[in-house]
Amino acid sequence: MTRFSKSRSSKPEQEARGGGAAMRVIVPLQGVVQGRGGLVLGSIIPCVLFYFLQLYLKRNRNDADSENEQNPGGPNTTTRSSSSGQLPELDAIPRSLSRALLSPKSPSGPVSVSARANGIVKGGAESPYNVGLKRVKEDPYDELANPNGVIQLGLAENKLSLDLVNEWLVENAREALLAGGGELGISGIATYQPFDRLMEFKVAVAEFMSQVMEKVVSFNPNQIVLTAGATPAIEILSFCLADSGNAFLVPTPYYPGFDRDVKWRTGVEIIPVPCRSADNFNISITALDRAFIQAKKRGLKVRGIIVSNPSNPVGNLLSQETLYSLLDFAREKNIHIVSNEILAGSTHGSEEFVSMAEIINQEDLDRNRVHIVYGLSKDLSLPGFRVGVIYSFNNEVLAAAKKLARFSSISAPTQRLLISMLSDTKFVQKFIKVNRERLQKMYVKFVAGLKRLGIECTKSNGGFYCWADMSGLISSYSEKGELELWDKLLNIAKINVTPGSSCHCIEPGWFRFCFSTLTEKDIPVVMERIQKVSEICKSRS
Amino acid sequence: MEKGNRSRQVLSRIATNDKHGENSPYFHGWNAYERNRFHPTQNPQGVIQMGLAENQLCFDLVEKWIRENPNASICTREGADQFKEIAIFQDYHGIKEFRQVVAKFMEKVRGNRVTFDPDRIVMSGGATGANETFMFCLADPGDAFLVPSPYYPAFDRDLRWRTGVQIIPVDCHSSNGFRLTRAAVEVAYKTAQESNINVKGLILTNPSNPLGTTLDMETLKSLVAFVNEKNIHLVCDEIYSATVFNSPRFISVAEVIQELEHCNRDLIHIIYSLSKDLGFPGFRVGIIYSYNDIVVSCARKMSSFGLVSSQTQHFLTSLLSDEEFVDNFLSKSKKRMAKGHHDFTKGLKQVGISCLKGSNSGLFFWMDLGSLLKEQTFEAELELWRVIVDDVRLNVSPGSSFHGLEPGWFRLCFANMDDQTGEVALERIRTFVLDNGKKGDEGR
């Protein structure tokens, strides 16, 4: 009745192991006593016994400790939970039996939640992402009300063009919840959604996706599965394409949320495939291949690659050539490709966006291995509304994803509102165009500002951020050095930025700055603050 | 490696197994309805939907409120200025005011006998998402939860599919009105232990689906004591809490633990939703409420997979803040449910069909058609079910979908139709029963 058991193996199995070990010790001991085996066994066996004892204590201590302190991937140690106030040695020995004998009036003992829950709650609590968010929440910058507050540069949100959406709403003031009564009345949206109502929304979304990608591709609404945001879309695809224990290859640096979306509840692993600044952080097929082979050696089955295009945090667009190479690679290894294109409409600059869908349209082969993730959180600035899309050419995946999406469906009134908005093609066109212009403007200004401080950014064409090389300012060329700089930026400069280590970048010193929550006026303020820290770092080195 | 021209794309076990449960009659009946939907004037011979527990009884009240309160909808001129904040808001804590009104609403439904802490309220993708999230938080793959049967068919999917958790049914029998007893739970628990299955908790649906009954204080207390003794979790699905239209009154587990001095609250959790009580399944509002801090924290982080649309949160904050509206809604809703339930059960009784005695809640009733079965087997029950769907043209849910032990029981939902449709449905059943009676069926 152990409550600390993390593994799936039940108690009797563990007892059997212990029993077997005992037998394996007793028989040779008899041999030693009777003179067979001699000195060798006489010295080995006590050592082995001692070893097993240590192993047993260590295993149980690990189980107890990992409940209290598990920290997958977080750079800082977490604080221990209140239930761990006791000595570790005591915790190591399961006390379930003694607790069962206590009267029911005893105070609550440690109750086991799932191992998964413990890992999630304890791990990452002190991650830079969370710490930074918290600081901004507590002390948000406001030009007038709180000019010394923390400026948010760590959230990839686009506030630049919300006014356009707002304007549309006011002009098209339709009571979308009750458009005309009758079939479109409350019973039309409050109830479980009939199939055809959902289709109307899918048609609108398909059309929007096509417009966003400049009408080069047309998207078939029948190949869409809707989800409550892109977060569950990624998770659902992970559940569909891989079993627990399998893995996906993901080029780094990557969006920190993938660790949650791909791994938390699925049991699927991510194998990071490093991209280098020398390559402008572009994907290398060689690196993918190497990672695939290494995975195989470790006994990990790779089920697919997840790429983001435009990429986050770097902002690269994948060239047509790269897309073809990825497809070749996937075909050769017989694996899937998940292309996260959630920022397809948020490009700026001269390079053209090419969707995976474009490549596939031209070749009939391999349609079944390509899946695209999209959503309205970035391109339409509506993260609160929770609209995500899985777009696949694989009917089996669509069928499975549709069922899995029941855990993450989109609110009906939101669908109703968006059908109206997305169907207004004039508005959509205008929005995409103006949004791009504003992004471009901010990007150019921001990057120029950093350049004046001697900080270079990779050339990027998409996303709401720039990827800056601050390795010149870090005290030691390591993750530790990078995090020290991050800390200075947060607490001295009072700007919240995302350190490259959170994105699994192998080269220390890179930071992501999101500029889309700022106005132009804020840029000089940000630069001034960075300069302050820059001077501190330079004077100390 | 690639085989021939077409590469074989192997998907995961989850994607290819049957554990989504959508191949059961419960879901097949819906297809029959979709193909041939009843309409009083346009398609009077169509299939009447009695298999979906939806509450449509008070839509008129909501429509009126919406018209009178345009600020609540951000998609109106009046409400549009709040739009920017709402559109951007994706904090998984949820809008504070939203959690506060939900807490107050839950308190109101429980006669203000308990208080709920808004900081313990976590969102999920409907109750569907809440059911699953609790399993992810409380159990590891291979662990099990005890579930009194008959139970809601989609538990098979929600509790097991992606989580790898097992369901161990706790048998309830018609001989004592399907009442759940501590003894039955203990038997199921013991059997699981003997098979080396690690039981992590017990799920109660109170009010019960499909039975439409509520648990009494004594039973609830004994079950809370049981989980405390075994140090396992108690998850109470209270999504039908405001559908109690008759005595005995609804008793929430929140009330029970107030009365018990020595209860480990870390074991107690509540599932809620606005889909049944308010009739808003389309809004996808699932609520996880836990007295356990770790579970709240974990569930909140997982809520990223099923957040409630901020537009919906905003609207509901307005709606549920209107106490006058809420009081009126709850009282009218109960009256209409009581009437619907009464009309149906009375009408059925007149032709010799009984429904579960003592049912006082839910959007459905549990009907005993055992007398119409050719033999007391589930095969016969399915045969009868097909006749009811295809010939009588009513989509009802056969008891086998609910994993009960005794064939012949059917769940019929009545709260999703107006009086006119209800009369047609009742007439069809009565005619069918009388016709079958005339054929001289023995065993009545």
Contacts of A78 in chain B (CB under 8 A): none
Tell which wins on pLDDT, A500 or A21.
A500
| Closest CA of chain A from B116, distance in Å | 21
| Closest CA of chain A from B73, distance in Å | 7
Cα–Cα distance between A181 and A172 in angstroms, integer? 17
B438: annotated active-site residue? no
pLDDT in the model for residue A68: 32
Question: Does the pLDDT of residue A127 top 80, yes or no?
Answer: yes
Give the pLDDT confidence of A284-341 residue by residue, as tens digits.
Answer: 999 999 999 999 999 999 999 999 999 999 999 999 999 999 999 999 999 999 999 9
Interface of B with A in 179-198 (CB under 8 A): 196-198
Give the pLDDT confidence of B111-145 residue by residue, as tens digits.
Answer: 999 999 999 999 999 999 999 999 999 999 999 99
B152: annotated active-site residue? yes
Residue B306 in contact with partner chain A when CB distance is under 8 A? yes
A368:B308 CB<8 A: no
| Band (A24; pLDDT cuts 50, 70, 90) | low
Catalytic one among B152, B240, B272, B291? B152
Q: How many CB pairs below 8 Å do chains A and B form together?
A: 283
Question: Does the pLDDT of residue A103 top 90, yes or no?
Answer: no
Nearest to B356 by CA among B289, B311, B412: B412
| A57's tokens | 């204590």
CATH of domain B81-324: 3.40.640.10
pLDDT in the model for residue A534: 92
Question: Mapping DSSP to helix (H, G, I), strand (E, B) and coil, where does residue A115 land?
Answer: helix
| B281's tokens | 């399944």
pLDDT in the model for residue A40: 58
Give me the mean pLDDT over the B193-205 stretch: 97
Residue of B nearest to A68 (CA): B294
Residue of A nearest to B91 (CA): A384
- DSSP label at residue B367: E
* Nearest CB neighbour to B11, from listed A5, A109, A396: A396
Tell which wins on pLDDT, A365 or A102.
A365
Highest mean pLDDT among A73-87, A100-114, B109-123: B109-123
Contacts of B88 in chain A (CB under 8 A): 157, 159, 162, 381, 383-384
Helix axes B59-68, B323-349, angle to 10 degrees: 160
Residue B156 in contact with partner chain A when CB distance is under 8 A? no
φ/ψ bin of B32: left (φ > 0), alpha (ψ from -120 to 50), beta (otherwise): alpha
Q: What is the mean pLDDT of chain A?
A: 81
- Which range (A43-57, A73-87, A442-456) has the least confidence? A73-87
Torsion angles phi and psi, residue B181, rounded to 5: -120, 155
Cβ pair B70, A193 in contact under 8 A: no
Three-state secondary structure along B208-237? CCCCCCCCCHHHHHHHHHHHHHHCCEEEEE
Question: Does the pLDDT of residue B254 top 80, yes or no?
Answer: yes
Element (H or E) spanning A130, and its range?
Answer: helix A128-138
| B111's tokens | 């006669």
Helices then strands (H, E): number in chain B? 15, 13
pLDDT in the model for residue A430: 94
Residue A228 in contact with partner chain B when CB distance is under 8 A? yes
Interface of B with A in 314-333 (CB under 8 A): 315
Give the pLDDT confidence of B416-443 residue by residue, as tens digits.
Answer: 999 999 999 999 999 999 988 755 444 4
Residue A371 in contact with partner chain B when CB distance is under 8 A? no
Q: How long, in residues, is chain B?
A: 444
B282:A178 CB<8 A: no
Give me the mean pLDDT over the A166-181 stretch: 63
Give the pLDDT confidence of B10-32 residue by residue, as tens digits.
Answer: 899 999 998 888 887 767 788 88
Calculate the CA dihedral of residues B75, A413, B116, B130 and round it to 10 degrees: -150
Contacts of A228 in chain B (CB under 8 A): 125, 284, 305-307, 309
B307:A186 CB<8 A: no
Q: Provide the strand spans (E) within A298-439.
A: 302-308, 336-340, 370-375, 388-392
Provide the residue ranges of all domains of chain B, joining segments of one domain with +. 3-60+331-435, 81-324
Question: Does the pLDDT of residue B59 top 90, yes or no?
Answer: no
Catalytic one among B74, B95, B239, B268? B239
Q: Which residues of B33-51 are buried (b: 16+ CB within 10 A; e: fewer)?
A: beeeebeeeeeeebbbbbb
List, in sequence order, every residue forming a beta bridge with A347; answer none if it has no partner: A462
Residue A331 in contact with partner chain B when CB distance is under 8 A? yes
Catalytic one among B167, B237, B251, B334? B237
Q: Would B3-60+331-435 and B81-324 be classified into the same CATH topology?
A: no
pLDDT in the model for residue B96: 95
- Percent over 70 (pLDDT), chain A: 74
Interface of A with B in 16-45 (CB under 8 A): none
Q: Provide the strand spans (E) within A403-509.
A: 456-457, 465-469, 495-496, 498-499
| A157's tokens | 């949100």
- The CATH fold assigned to B3-60+331-435 is Aspartate Aminotransferase, domain 1 (3.90.1150)
Calculate the CA dihedral of residues A505, A511, A516, A521 and round it to 10 degrees: -170
Question: Does the pLDDT of residue B348 top 60, yes or no?
Answer: yes
